[in-house]
Amino acid sequence: MSVGVLIVHLLAFVFVGLLPVVFFVRGQFSWRWWLTGAPFFVCAVALAAVLGHVVVPAHASGPWRPVLDVISVVFAVSSIALVAFTLGTHRIPIALWHQEHDAPRQIVTWGAYARIRHPFYAAFLLAFIGAFIVAPHLWTLLTLVYGLIVLNVTAAREERRLLASEFGLEYEDYMRRTGRFVPRWRTAA
């Protein structure tokens, strides 16, 4: 695996890590936020450890390594692109995750949200998958699994809040047409 490949993956996590600073509306970094953000820090540290040759993942070399490197870079670049596309979709910054008193101002159903209800979270999962492919290590596997669980819990919580808001009926219809993290190409009847 090359240094360049690992750097692309670290850049994906830097890009994600900058979101609370440069895009989201300021809020409190509650314990829920830290629990959601923890796998990003751990995975970035694991990748940095691989980059620094502190940890050498299983199957770090071999005949499939170049193919896995390319596949992993596709995931990392897709993560960066989806974050950028999602940023471009928003007309105003959105609330930082897990803010108790933040009410939705509108339901965004265009751009990155046309087929995915949580494109930021989908982009985060792409970064975790790419990190595991490039560095198949216990820590990258744990961050992928934990990230999938915690982002699912967070998305479900957000969806319940949106369904209970003044936009509930609109959001319910939107949920039928879109996937949570994976695009839904056929609309539900």
Q: Is 46 a member of any domain?
A: yes
Q: Is 74 a member of any domain?
A: yes
Q: Is 15 a member of any domain?
A: yes
Distance CA 172, CA 176 (A): 7
| Of 152 and 105, the one with more pLDDT | 152
What are the φ and ψ backbone dihedral angles of 116, each rounded to 5 degrees?
-130, 130
Distances in Å between the Cα of 128 and the Cα atoms of 88, 125, 161, 185 are 22, 5, 26, 24
Does residue 127 contact residue 46 with C-beta atoms inside 8 Å? no
Least confident of 27-36, 123-132, 155-164: 27-36
pLDDT at 128: 95
Distance CA 67, CA 183 (A): 25
Q: Is 61 a member of any domain?
A: yes
Q: Is 28 a member of any domain?
A: yes
Using pLDDT thresholds of 50, 70 and 90, give the confidence band for residue 131: very high
Q: Is the pLDDT of residue 161 over 80?
A: yes
Q: Is 186 a member of any domain?
A: no
Q: Is 159 a member of any domain?
A: yes
Q: Is 183 a member of any domain?
A: no
Cβ burial, residue 76 (10 Å; 0-12/13-18/19+): buried
Our count of domains for the chain comes to: 1
**Range of the structural domain that residue 28 is part of:** 3-177
Q: Is the pLDDT of residue 26 over 70?
A: no
Distance CA 153, CA 137 (A): 24
Using pLDDT thresholds of 50, 70 and 90, give the confidence band for residue 148: very high
pLDDT tens-place string over residues 38-62: 888 888 888 888 776 655 555 566 7
Q: In the predicted model, what is the mean pLDDT of residues 5-24?
A: 81
CATH number at residue 172: 1.20.120.1630
| Of 103 and 12, the one with more pLDDT | 12
In the DSSP assignment, the letter for residue 26 is P
- The rounded percent of the chain whose pLDDT value lies above 70 is 79
